[in-house]
Amino acid sequence: MKRNEVEKIFQEHGLNDYRLTCIEDLKSCLGIEALKVNGYEDLTEENKEIFRNFIINFFNSIGMDRKMITVPKAINYVEDIDSVAQDPDDKECVVTVCNVINVIVINVIKANGNKKQLHKYVNKEYKDLIVSEQYRKEYLRFAFLEGKSKVWFHVTHEGKQWY
């Protein structure tokens, strides 16, 4: 669909400023069924609400050209565990410990508490080092296609910020 055709759809729905106001606008103007995105059903009610707020904020933050090529693929609540080891090549770290990440594991946490591994990244150069510490964080992870590019964001601050 061409840009002027999409703009016309927005205008027909009373969105002359091209800003979405609700999930229904996303479906009627861009054909995106946000509540059917992979992983949505596995979120807690609180995280579903955060996602509903986020998806509108996100689409309103991008221009029409990007709106037209952005396709949500998944939303998951995840735990991200970074395993680190002392950097064997850093001889300068005498007072403080200089670390390297040797493994990152990202697990989906479902509403019922069950976990499933989503990704595991292993730094081949440091994979055999002894883990000295682990750092764990939880966040909503939004994955989407932007054209042919696979992209994902951490969603924070009740769906008002992402990176």
- Do both 12 and 68 map to the same domain? yes
Structural domain boundaries enclosing 33:
3-75+141-162
pLDDT (mean) for 94-102: 72
Instruction: Specify the pTM.
Output: 0.87
- Do both 11 and 62 map to the same domain? yes
- Do both 42 and 93 map to the same domain? no
- CB-CB contact of 99 with 86 (8 Å): yes
Rounded to 10°, the helix 45-61/23-30 angle is 50
Q: Give 52-81 pLDDT, tens digit per residue.
A: 999 999 999 999 999 999 999 999 999 999
- Do both 47 and 122 map to the same domain? no
Residue 78's nearest CA partner among 33, 114, 131, 41 is 114
- CB-CB contact of 86 with 132 (8 Å): yes
- CB-CB contact of 131 with 75 (8 Å): no
- Do both 9 and 70 map to the same domain? yes
Q: How far apart, in whole angstroms, are the C-alpha atoms of residue 11 and residue 34?
A: 21
Q: How far apart, in whole angstroms, are the C-alpha atoms of residue 88 and residue 137?
A: 26
- Do both 7 and 71 map to the same domain? yes
Q: Give 130-161 pLDDT, tens digit per residue.
A: 888 899 999 999 999 999 999 999 999 999 99
Residue 78's nearest CA partner among 33, 36, 44, 122 is 44
- Do both 145 and 131 map to the same domain? no
